[in-house]
Structure 1
Amino acid sequence: MTHTIYHLAYATHWADAGETYTHSTRGRTLADEGFIHCSTDLDQLHQVVTRYYADVDPADLIVLHIDPTGLDIRLEGGFPHLYGPLPRSAVHAHSAL
């Protein structure tokens, strides 16, 4: 996998992260879930927003644009999962939802 993948994050979680980010999904950490949920593209990410974050103010969320090079990414059930913390250096951009 060499193209950008995406992770939906609470802006406060990203702002509070140090050199590594360890939130997996809504209400769960990497330690809870065992991996960090990601999306293959923005269409898939928006499906996640619709299904799991519909009641969250979009202003509270950001999209992390991740370069998966060198990360332990496994495609499972059609979604990329990152096994391990997300290094801040692998996030080449972030954007509003």
Structure 2
Amino acid sequence: MRIFHIATRADWTAAQESGAYTTSTVDRSLAEEGFVHASRADQWEGVLATFYADVAEPLVLLEIETDLLGVPVVEEPPAPGVTETFPHVYGAIAPSAVVAVTPL
């Protein structure tokens, strides 16, 4: 299955150098959040508009193949009381699991 994650270009470049992507969302790390926020194909544009509209640095869209991750992906609501679910990646994302990178 393919899922998507919006990243800063700087965070993606650092992940390629270190071998692990560990940014959960804007200004939050995997260690702080417990998972990496992701979205399905029909969700990422809404996430971009809602959470990244004020981000001034260059962004990229990571397309991730879940079969290549090696860590759990769980569909969950992002907060209590929210019914829509999103894929949450419970571990670092290996750059080799990212099959496409699109500048936003």
Q: Same fold (TM over 0.5)?
A: yes
Who is 1:31 aligned against? 31
Identity of aligned residues (%): 42
Who is 1:84 aligned against? 91
Return structure 1 stretches of 4+ with deviation > 2 angstroms. Answer: none
Who is 2:6 aligned against? 8
Who is 2:80 aligned against? none
Who is 2:100 aligned against? 93
Q: CA deviation at 1:71?
A: 3.1
Note the aligned Cα RMSD (angstroms).
1.2
Q: TM-score, normalised by structure 2?
A: 0.84
CA-to-partner distance for each residue in 1:17-41, whole Å, 9 max, x for gaps?
1211100000000000000000011
Who is 1:61 aligned against? 59
- Bigger strand fraction: 1
Unpaired runs of 5+ residues, structure 2, are 78-84
Residue type of the alignment partner of 1:87: A
Greater Cα offset, 22-31 or 46-55: 46-55
